């Protein structure tokens, strides 16, 4: 989720690039840089931290020229530092990149054998070297880019320039977005529309597997294999704020829709399908560390705590290691029994949550190993733990966590498989089947997103309710908690989650015709028991919204409303069931007119105890 900008024309490139990058700051950043063709060479300026640092640097040491590229980085490979900031240079080539190159270790080793040396820890730098090697071999910039992208695996967008071809930019897209802004005597490139709206509203959107050759006279599109493409620009009428939200009404809705891609990005390069295993080389807790783990403490806050509750099911089922789940705010105060046989796994989107960080300190003091599942590279938690497994959700802007949660579940399931395979509790065939289904999960997830209108209709019917209950069983019980948390955060409706079997031990007293109950009812071993709970609710006049993968008429007979989801492996059901609950909470909040992206009293990172 980096920000990319390119410009060629008659204006001062550095100011166009800087203003474009400012409009992309919402995508997250930890460093930024620009490169401009100036005095027969490409000059680069980069700085760590906010974009203003780069602006200050450019003021002190300006770059003059009419063609250039700019980048704000959201780190994935390598910590945020000036060396790791883009643009990256290799010989005559300067390049910016958004995405992840999966085979970068093999490619880098190959380049090293050919005598190339590297100045950063990034996967990006290898692309610049590969293009430079191809140019040295006689290719022009376009042909060199084409042969290079053919060798890359992963998701990427790149923009590249060469000092040998001034006034020319080449952009290539495999998965992450690239848009070309078409002007008169000038053209623009960006990872997102808002960066260009100040200059043009005529946009050409690159599709996966396409390359654009851009100079001030025009834009030529082709496929990676060289087939030319004819495409007319589209006129964009969005205002700048809508453009930042990708045309969605709120960041939250955009982030809900980004979940299939976020899941893919989090799995990318980590699944070994043939072996029925996963590769989590990032987790380095000592040789054969998994053999020494006798207990696991899972600690987090809020939504991330719900991910820990699901992870307990994953790990205990697949790896048979006893797990305890704690709130960050409770963990250290209960004087936990910890030693070096304990593994502490903390889960945090931001990596800055004070209570979760304090749990890390408590565990370290007692000699336990610490592992974080985290979304923000080099955040406080990421720096303090022994190892980090990053989720690749990209920046989450809406205060209510959505895509971070599903990627946390993906990462935690990968850890469970990793432990289970190494400790011999789960065989390759079982894991292969699970991982294959996991790889295909974005498809059923998109099917649920496609039913957003139906979920909105349900939300409209219940938007005036003042209380809600959510119930589920087993590993879907934490999803009931998460559904309730989303609803209360966004709409300020009082909502509680319970294990369905607990209803009769107290909460059933609340059931009346004014109490909607959301029931998670996947077709699994607990189906009949949850159906009985539904009947108990029905006989007390409760309104029942069922989320289920069955088409069973008996369900429709008891339910007031039914939201249907596709059937997936029971271990993956929590990931899928999360999505309709996010949409339900979102649409209820929209109907009540609350501030969806910044609900009252809440902050995105809770950095105080
Ligand atoms: O950044 P973290 O994942 O550590 O944040 C933890 C909670 O503060 C966070 O999940 C919070 O509950 C969200 N508002 C949930 O939508």
Q: Where are the extended beta strands (E) located within 414-571?
A: 467-472, 494-499, 516-521, 543-548, 561-564
Give the relative orientation of helices 452-462 and 573-592 as an angle to the nearest 10 degrees. Answer: 50
**Is residue 351 left, alpha or beta, with left meaning phi > 0 and alpha meaning psi from -120 to 50?**
left
Q: Which residue has a Cα nearest atom 12 of ligand 1?
A: 302
Architecture of domain 254-439: 3-Layer(aba) Sandwich (3.40)
- DSSP SS3 for 396: coil
**Domain definitions of the chain by residue range:** 3-244, 254-439, 445-592
Does domain 445-592 correspond to CATH entry 3.40.50.720?
A: no
Query: What pLDDT, in 10s, does the model give residues 243-291?
Result: 778 889 999 999 999 999 999 989 988 999 999 999 998 999 998 999 9
Predicted pLDDT of residue 28: 66
Ligand 1 pocket, residue 329 CB under 6 Å: no
Q: What value, to the nearest 5°, has the Cα angle with vertex 392 and ends 286 and 425?
A: 45
Handedness of CA 89, 91, 94, 96 (dihedral sign): negative
For ligand 1, say whether the CB of 402 is within 6 Å of any of its atoms.
no
Measuring CA to CA, which residue among 239, 241, 208 is closest to residue 224? 208
The encoded tokens of residue 381 equal 């938690």
Nearest to 297 by CA among 315, 323, 316: 323
By percentage, how much of the chain surpasses pLDDT 70?
99
Task: Quote the pLDDT of residue 239.
Answer: 75
606 close to ligand 1 (CB < 6 Angstrom): yes
**pLDDT tens string 488-546:** 999 999 999 999 999 989 999 999 999 999 999 999 889 999 999 999 999 898 999 99
- pLDDT computed for residue 167 by the predictor: 94
Q: Where are the alpha helices (DSSP H) in 451-476?
A: 452-462
Out of 79-88, 175-184, 208-217, give the one with best mean pLDDT.
208-217
Q: Are 187 and 181 in contact (CB under 8 A)?
A: yes
Residue that wins the pLDDT comparison between 55 and 2: 55
Residue 108 CB contacts under 8 Å (≥ 6 apart), including other chains? 118, 126
Note whether 98 and 122 are within 8 A (CB): no
Q: How far apart are the first and last CA of the chain?
A: 30
- Asked whether the whole model's pTM tops 0.85, one would answer no
Q: Report the Cα 413 to chain-centroid distance in Å.
A: 16
pLDDT of residue 493: 97
Measured CA to CA, the distance from residue 422 to residue 428 in angstroms comes to: 11
User: What is the tens place of the pLDDT at every residue in 319-340?
Assistant: 999 999 999 999 989 889 999 9
Burial of residue 15, with CB atoms counted within 10 A of its CB: 0-12 exposed, 13-18 middle, 19 or more buried: middle
Query: CA-to-CA distance for 589 and 518, rounded, in angstroms?
Result: 16
**What pLDDT does 436 receive?**
96
Distance CA 445, CA 450 (A): 9
Ligand 1 site, residue 14, Cβ cutoff 6 A: no
Q: Which pLDDT score, from 0 to 100, does residue 177 have?
A: 82
For residue range 431-471, list pLDDT tens digits in order.
Answer: 999 999 999 999 999 999 999 999 999 999 999 999 999 99
Task: State which of 606, 608, 609 you would mutate to test the pocket of ligand 1, scoring each by most atoms of that ligand within 8 A of its C-beta.
Answer: 606
Does the pLDDT of residue 368 top 90, yes or no?
yes
Helix axes 124-136, 104-113, angle to 10 degrees: 40
Q: Ligand 1, atom 9: nearest CA belongs to which residue?
A: 302
Judge whether 3-244 and 445-592 match in fold: no
Tell me the best of 300, 303, 374, 398 to mutate to test the pocket of ligand 1, counting ligand atoms within 8 Å of each CB and taking the most.
303
Long-range contacts of 255-258 (CB under 8 A, 24+ apart): 255/396, 255/397, 255/398, 255/402, 255/403, 256/402, 256/403, 256/449, 256/579, 256/582, 256/583, 256/586, 257/449, 258/393, 258/394, 258/403
Mean pLDDT confidence for 290-299: 95
Confidence at 170, pLDDT banded by 50, 70, 90: very high
CATH code, 3-244: 3.60.20.10
Lowest average pLDDT, out of 170-179, 183-192, 384-393, 437-446, goes to: 170-179
* Whole-number pLDDT of residue 1: 63
Q: Is residue 548 within 6 Å of ligand 1 at its C-beta? A: no
H or E stretch at 109: helix 104-113
Mean pLDDT over residues 416-423, rounded?
A: 97
Q: Where are the alpha helices (DSSP H) in 477-526?
A: 477-491
Whether 212 and 189 have beta carbons less than 8 Å apart is answered as yes
Choice between 50 and 551, residue whose per-residue pLDDT is larger: 551
Instruction: Tell me the catalytic residues.
Output: 2, 604
Ligand 1 site, residue 302, Cβ cutoff 6 A? yes
The pLDDT > 90 percentage for the chain reads 79
Confidence (pLDDT) at 523 = 93
Question: Which residue's CA lies nearest to atom 16 of ligand 1?
Answer: 400
Average pLDDT, the chain: 93
Spatial distance between the Cα atoms of 79 and 378, rounded to a whole number of angstroms: 6
Beta partners for 387?
Answer: 371
Helices (H), 320-427: 328-331, 354-365, 380-384, 403-422
């Amino acid at each position: 989720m980096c920000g990319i900008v390119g410009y060629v024309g008659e204006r001062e490139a550095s100011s166009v690039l800087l203003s474009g990058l400012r409009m992309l700051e919402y995508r997250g950043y930890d460093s930024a840089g620009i490169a401009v063709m100036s005095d027969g060479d490409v000059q680069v300026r980069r700085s760590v931290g906010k974009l203003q640092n780069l602006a200050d640097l450019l003021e002190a040491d300006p770059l003059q020229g009419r063609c250039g590229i700019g980048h704000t980085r959201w780190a994935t490979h390598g910590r945020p530092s000036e060396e790791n900031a883009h643009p990256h240079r290799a010989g005559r080539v300067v390049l910016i990149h958004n995405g992840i190159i999966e085979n970068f270790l093999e490619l880098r080793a190959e380049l090293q054998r050919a005598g190339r040396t590297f100045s950063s820890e990034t996967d990006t730098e290898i692309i610049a070297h590969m293009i430079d090697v191809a140019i040295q071999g006689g290719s022009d910039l376009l042909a060199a880019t084409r042969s290079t992208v053919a060798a890359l695996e992963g998701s990427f967008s790149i923009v590249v320039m060469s000092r040998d071809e001034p006034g020319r930019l080449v952009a290539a897209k495999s998965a992450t977005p690239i848009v070309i802004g078409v002007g008169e005597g000038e053209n623009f490139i960006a990872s997102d529309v808002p960066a260009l709206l100040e200059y043009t509203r005529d946009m050409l959107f690159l599709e996966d597997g396409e390359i654009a050759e851009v100079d001030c006279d025009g834009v030529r599109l082709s496929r990676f294999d060289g087939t030319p493409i004819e495409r007319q620009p589209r006129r964009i009428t969005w205002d700048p704020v809508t453009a930042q939200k990708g045309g969605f009404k709120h960041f939250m809705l955009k982030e809900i829709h980004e979940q299939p891609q976020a899941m893919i990005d989090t799995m990318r390069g980590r699944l070994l399908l043939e072996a029925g295993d996963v590769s989590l080389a990032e987790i380095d807790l000592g040789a054969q560390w998994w053999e020494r783990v006798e207990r696991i403490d899972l600690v987090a806050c809020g939504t991330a705590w719900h991910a820990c509750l699901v992870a307990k099911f994953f790990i205990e089922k697949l790896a048979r290691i006893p797990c305890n789940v704690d709130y960050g705010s409770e963990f250290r105060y209960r004087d936990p029994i910890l030693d070096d046989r304990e593994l502490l796994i903390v889960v945090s989107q931001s990596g800055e949550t004070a209570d979760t960080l304090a749990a890390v300190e408590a565990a370290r003091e007692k000699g336990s190993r610490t592992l974080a599942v985290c979304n923000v590279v080099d955040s406080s938690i990421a720096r303090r733990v022994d190892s980090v497994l990053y989720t690749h959700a990209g920046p989450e802007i809406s205060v209510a966590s959505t895509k971070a949660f599903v990627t946390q579940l993906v990462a935690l399931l990968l850890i469970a498989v990793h432990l289970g395979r190494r400790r011999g509790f789960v065989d390759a065939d079982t894991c292969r089947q699970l991982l294959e289904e996991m790889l295909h999960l974005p498809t059923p997830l998109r099917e649920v997103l496609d039913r957003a209108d139906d979920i909105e209709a349900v939300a409209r019917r219940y938007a005036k309710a003042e209380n809600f209950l959510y119930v589920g069983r087993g590993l879907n019980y934490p999803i009931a908690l998460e559904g309730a948390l989303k609803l209360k955060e966004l709409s300020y409706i009082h909502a509680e989650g319970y294990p369905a079997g607990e209803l009769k031990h107290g909460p059933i007293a609340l059931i009346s015709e004014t109490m909607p109950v959301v029931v998670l009812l996947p077709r699994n071993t607990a189906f009949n028991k949850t159906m009985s709970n539904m009947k108990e609710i029905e006989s007390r006049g409760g309104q029942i919204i069922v989320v289920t993968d069955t088409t069973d008429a008996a369900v429709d007979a008891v339910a007031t409303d039914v939201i249907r989801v596709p059937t997936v492996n029971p271990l993956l059901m929590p990931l899928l069931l999360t999505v309709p609950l996010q949409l339900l909470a979102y649409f209820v909040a929209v109907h009540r007119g609350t501030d969806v992206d910044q609900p009252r009293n809440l902050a995105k990172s809770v950095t105080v105890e």
